[in-house]
């Protein structure tokens, strides 16, 4: 039987583990020619949490997540993934490490169906027509598994995604990102251009991924709905730097917007 002391020790270890970020970027600088886009930006992402990255146009949000996803190399700073200095220097490195991105344009092929889109570029393909048919069957089984896990069991596997609604397309893009069991998923504007109910559904899907222990980063301008209601922490960026770190439950949309535009330097409620 475990003594009180060992129980206490394992509790402390657990607390320590959840305090250690899954992914941590510190003091990141990135220039494009003479344009200094990131000037010491930082972000931590823990397993099981949703971190919103907000800021005005040009604040550096996309640049920061592109560095995270291996699209851009950073000039200086520190990038740790699972406590190790990251050696991610391309999008395929990021994918292989367990970091997936759902881009704003979703990068779906409209003329292909859900299964083809889910496996685009990484089809389980073998030689010959027979093998191909078997692979398609395997892909359908895996697609159905992942969609069922996302409670999207009713989504058609064979309709071209171009004929689907914005919300359904967003769901397919999310399904594609989690098919390969990532540990961190980055979303760029997941609720933009969606109806209120489709946005709510995407928000609850993102929450269920966090509940499974994934670390989630969401770039969003949807401050008053998604950001304040459906995330855990908010990093506010301005001119390539972090200007506020907020707990979503503690702030109003107005306070977040004030922090974004520099109207209220007092806002810093994160404990
Ligand atoms: N590939 C690039 N080449 C040159 N400049 C770039 C490049 N990508 C971004 N920038 C510049 O870096 C700055 C930050 O851009 P970024 O796209 O990160 O902003 P953002 O916060 O994502 O803005 P938005 O909300 O409009 O998407 C901007 O001044 C932008 O023009
Ligand atoms: Mg952007």
List residues near ligand 1 (CB under 6 A): 32, 35, 37, 55, 57-63
Q: Ligand nearest 103 Cα, by number?
A: 2
Query: What distance in angstroms lies between residue 269's CA and the mean position of ligand 1's atoms?
Result: 28
CATH number where 212 lies: 3.40.50.300
Residue 112 lies in a domain: no
Query: Which residue has the CA at smallest separation from atom 5 of ligand 1?
Result: 32
Cα(189)–Cα(105) distance, rounded to whole angstroms?
A: 9
pLDDT, position 156 = 86
pLDDT at position 137 over 90: no
Domain range enclosing 206: 18-98+182-271
Pocket test for ligand 1, best of 28, 43, 59 (most atoms within 8 A of CB): 59
Which residues, other chains included, contact 166 with Cβ-Cβ below 8 Å and sequence gap of 6+?
A: 193, 194, 195, 198
Residue 134 lies in a domain: no
Give helix 166-178 / helix 196-211 axis angle, nearest 10°: 10
What confidence tier does 41 reach under pLDDT thresholds 50, 70, 90? very high
Cα(22)–Cα(92) distance, rounded to whole angstroms?
A: 19
Q: Ligand nearest 64 Cα, by number?
A: 1
Cα(36)–Cα(40) distance, rounded to whole angstroms?
A: 10
What confidence tier does 135 reach under pLDDT thresholds 50, 70, 90? confident
Question: How many domains is the chain built from?
Answer: 1
Residue 130 lies in a domain: no
Residue 114 lies in a domain: no
Residue 246 lies in a domain: yes
Question: 181 in the Ramachandran plot: left (φ > 0), alpha (ψ -120 to 50) or beta?
Answer: left
Residue 129 lies in a domain: no
pLDDT at position 129 over 60: no
Residue 171 lies in a domain: no
Residue 220 lies in a domain: yes
């Amino acid at each position: 039987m475990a003594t009180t002391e060992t129980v206490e020790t394992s509790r402390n270890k657990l607390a320590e583990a959840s305090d250690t970020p899954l992914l941590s970027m510190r003091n990141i600088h990135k220039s494009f020619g003479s344009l200094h886009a990131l000037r010491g930006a930082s972000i931590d992402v823990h397993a099981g949490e949703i971190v919103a990255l907000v800021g005005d146009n040009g604040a550096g949000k996309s640049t920061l997540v592109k560095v995270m996803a291996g699209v851009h190399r950073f000039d200086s700073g520190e990038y740790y993934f699972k406590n190790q200095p990251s050696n991610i220097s391309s999008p395929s490195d990021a994918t292989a490490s367990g970091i997936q991105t759902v881009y704003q344009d979703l990068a779906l092929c409209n003329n292909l169906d859900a299964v083809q889109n889910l496996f685009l570029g990484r089809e389980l393909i073998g030689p010959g027509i027979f093998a191909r048919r078997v692979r398609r069957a395997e892909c359908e089984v895996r697609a159905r598994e992942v969609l069922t896990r996302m409670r999207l069991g009713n989504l058609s596997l064979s309709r071209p995604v171009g004929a689907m609604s914005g919300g359904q397309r967003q769901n397919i893009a999310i399904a594609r990102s989690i098919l390969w069991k990532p540990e961190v998923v980055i979303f760029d504007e997941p609720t933009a251009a969606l109806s209120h109910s489709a946005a709510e559904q995407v928000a609850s899907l993102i929450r269920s991924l966090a509940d499974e222990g994934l670390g989630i980063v969401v770039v969003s301008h949807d401050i008053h709905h998604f950001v304040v209601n459906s995330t855990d922490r908010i990093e506010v960026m301005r001119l390539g730097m972090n200007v506020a770190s907020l707990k979503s439950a503690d702030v109003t949309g107005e306070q977040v917007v004030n922090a974004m535009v520099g109207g209220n330097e007092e806002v810093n409620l994160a404990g």
